Amino acid sequence: MVAANLAANHKYSHSHHSQKATPMRDVEITLGTIYKTGGRWRGAITTGYDGTGKRVRKYISAKTRSEVKRRQLELYRRLLTKQKQPEKITVETWSAQWLEQIAPKGVSPRVLQNLQSAHRRHIVPTLGKYKLADLGIEEVLELDQAVEKSGVSGRTQQAVRSALSTCLDAAVEWGKMDSNPCKRVKRPQARSATRTALAAKDAAHILEFSRAAKDPLFSLWASYLLLGFRRAELIALEWDRLDLERGLVDLSWQVQQIPWRHGPKCGCREGKPAVQCPRREHAVKPGQEFRELRASRILVRPKTAASIRMTPIPGPLLMVLRQHRDTARPNPYSLVWASESGLPLDPRIVTREWKKLQKSAGYEPVDLHSTRHTTASLLLAAGVPVEVIVQILGHSDVASTRRYAHLDQTMARAAMEKLGAILPLTGGV
């Protein structure tokens, strides 16, 4: 009744010209009936008349009658206030445009890669054929259910939802749709798994097992446990950033594998993969500092200032790294660790080899990233102050509120020597 009264009080007058000389008439924006057809509910709004005197209607569809009613009233109010109608663009079309032209300017290469994966594997297959204007609560829930049925983790479910929401936020900003329906649907729940850390004796046993087996990655595992660095930091480490005379390591670069994008004015046909573009370029943010490594792998600066740090090397590890320097094969990239063929290490292979080592040593595999927790636990057990651990491990969340950028290296070195005493490395490589 309220909608009917509103419709009666809002009239738009238009002059229509046609070959049939139809008379000019007042045009009412009126709500039509809601009905079900083909398994979906449908509603209409009369917005005027064409040149022959026929009514012009706009149609809304959804899976439920209540959702059609909501969209119908939303469109009705928008027309009354002369707001722009959402464009008839599909989710698939907008997704491709957003990922190619808009998203790369605002996110890191790693985040862009994750967004592309979420859209390619989940969002486009489920919602790609829907028009942006037709997206509502039911469609968001449809995606959530499809992602859950695919068997991925709760964290991945949340990531997919976030990828859709971010994409739709941009659609709203660019005037492609009026509101983001993700804002009206509760985010999928995810149960956080508790990360486990190796005890000191277990870490020492695994390292001793690796050394005795003449594992070519022994020095890498020792560095993980005694330095607490991230995988991307150690894989990217170059010899000129490893000072084995003063016992310092410079963590100013990380390795990332990022997607390609078409180069400017490349002239490629539509649909041609960016990797085949003769003028392809790395899909990095404008102004982002990076260095070429190999193929799609590049070296980039860490995402936070706290992650760029100079860390002392404990005595036992310094001995191991010097032995590794004397026996390691040179590689074209001057990396401290490389494959047998001289190529940069594949992060997935490093993770696989770490799990294989633990199983061979008789342990249930602990996630490689958890070695950082092991290092932190050992430093705490050695009585190292928290602010020193913050700098050593480059914890950005703590460093953002507690500034220890100018921590005396003497304190950090003393801390690392305590760690070396708790986790000694017997023998050589």
Structural domain boundaries in the chain: 2-80, 91-184, 200-251+304-422, 254-300
Distance from first CA to last CA of the chain, Å, rounded? 84
Structure confidence at residue 421 (pLDDT): 65
Q: How far apart are alpha carbons 39 and 289 in whole angstroms?
A: 53
Q: Which of 153 and 335 is assigned the larger pLDDT?
A: 335
Superfamily of domain 200-251+304-422: Intergrase catalytic core (1.10.443.10)
Q: Which of 405 and 106 is assigned the larger pLDDT?
A: 106
Looking at the chain, the whole-number percentage of residues with pLDDT higher than 70 is: 74
∠ CA 134-66-38, rounded to 5°: 60
Structure confidence at residue 423 (pLDDT): 63
Tell me what the mean pLDDT of segment 215-235 comes to. Answer: 89
Q: How far apart are alpha carbons 236 and 252 in whole angstroms?
A: 9
Structure confidence at residue 429 (pLDDT): 46
Question: Rounded to whole angstroms, what are the CA distances from 313 to 263, 323, 326, 397, 417?
Answer: 42, 14, 17, 24, 8
Tell me what the mean pLDDT of segment 9-33 comes to. Answer: 46
Question: Rounded to whole angstroms, what are the CA distances from 294 to 125, 258, 259, 282?
Answer: 32, 11, 13, 11
AA letter at 205: H
Question: Using one digit for the tens of pLDDT, what is the confidence trace for 318-372?
Answer: 899 999 999 999 999 999 999 999 999 999 999 999 999 999 999 888 888 777 7
Structure confidence at residue 402 (pLDDT): 34
| Lowest pLDDT segment from 84-88, 203-207, 220-224, 403-407 | 403-407
- Sort strands 30-37 and 309-312 into parallel, antiparallel or unpaired: unpaired
Q: How far apart are alpha carbons 206 and 218 in whole angstroms?
A: 10
Query: Which phi and psi (to 5°) does residue 12 adopt?
Result: -115, 125
Asked if the model's pLDDT at residue 117 lies above 50, the reply is yes
Q: Which of 208 and 416 is assigned the larger pLDDT?
A: 208
Q: How far apart are alpha carbons 236 and 244 in whole angstroms?
A: 17
pTM of the complete model = 0.59
Q: How confident is the model at residue 22 (pLDDT cuts 50, 70, 90)?
A: very low
Structure confidence at residue 5 (pLDDT): 41
Query: Which phi and psi (to 5°) does residue 245 adopt?
Result: -85, -45
CB atoms within 10 A of CB 183: 11
* Residues near 306 by beta carbon (within 8 Å), at least 6 away in sequence: 390, 391, 394, 395, 396, 399, 400, 405
Q: How far apart are alpha carbons 350 and 356 in whole angstroms?
A: 10
Place of tokens 């990828």: 163
Tell me what the mean pLDDT of segment 384-408 comes to. Answer: 47
Tell me what the mean pLDDT of segment 373-382 comes to. Answer: 67
Place of tokens 């045009």: 27
Asked if the model's pLDDT at residue 15 lies above 70, the reply is no
**Which residue from 252, 189, 198 is spatially nearest to 226, judged by alpha carbons?**
198
Place of tokens 């709203």: 172
Structure confidence at residue 364 (pLDDT): 87
Q: How confident is the model at residue 10 (pLDDT cuts 50, 70, 90)?
A: very low
CATH 1.10.150.130 given to domain 91-184: yes
Burial degree of 273 (CB within 10 A; 0-12, 13-18, 19+): exposed
Q: Which of 132 and 27 is assigned the larger pLDDT?
A: 132
Asked if the model's pLDDT at residue 87 lies above 70, the reply is no
Asked if the model's pLDDT at residue 287 lies above 90, the reply is no
Asked if the model's pLDDT at residue 388 lies above 50, the reply is yes
3-state DSSP percent of the chain in helix, strand and coil, to 5: 45, 15, 40
Q: How confident is the model at residue 85 (pLDDT cuts 50, 70, 90)?
A: very low
Question: Rounded to whole angstroms, what are the CA distances from 7 to 20, 28, 417?
Answer: 29, 7, 79
Structure confidence at residue 394 (pLDDT): 59
Structure confidence at residue 227 (pLDDT): 81
The secondary structure of residue 335, as a DSSP letter, is: B
Residue-averaged pLDDT of the chain: 79
| Lowest pLDDT segment from 130-139, 260-269, 392-401 | 392-401
Q: How confident is the model at residue 100 (pLDDT cuts 50, 70, 90)?
A: confident
DSSP count for the chain of H helices, then E strands: 16, 13
Question: Using one digit for the tens of pLDDT, what is the confidence trace for 178-206?
Answer: 889 999 999 988 765 555 667 778 888 89
Looking at the chain, the whole-number percentage of residues with pLDDT higher than 90 is: 34
AA letter at 186: K
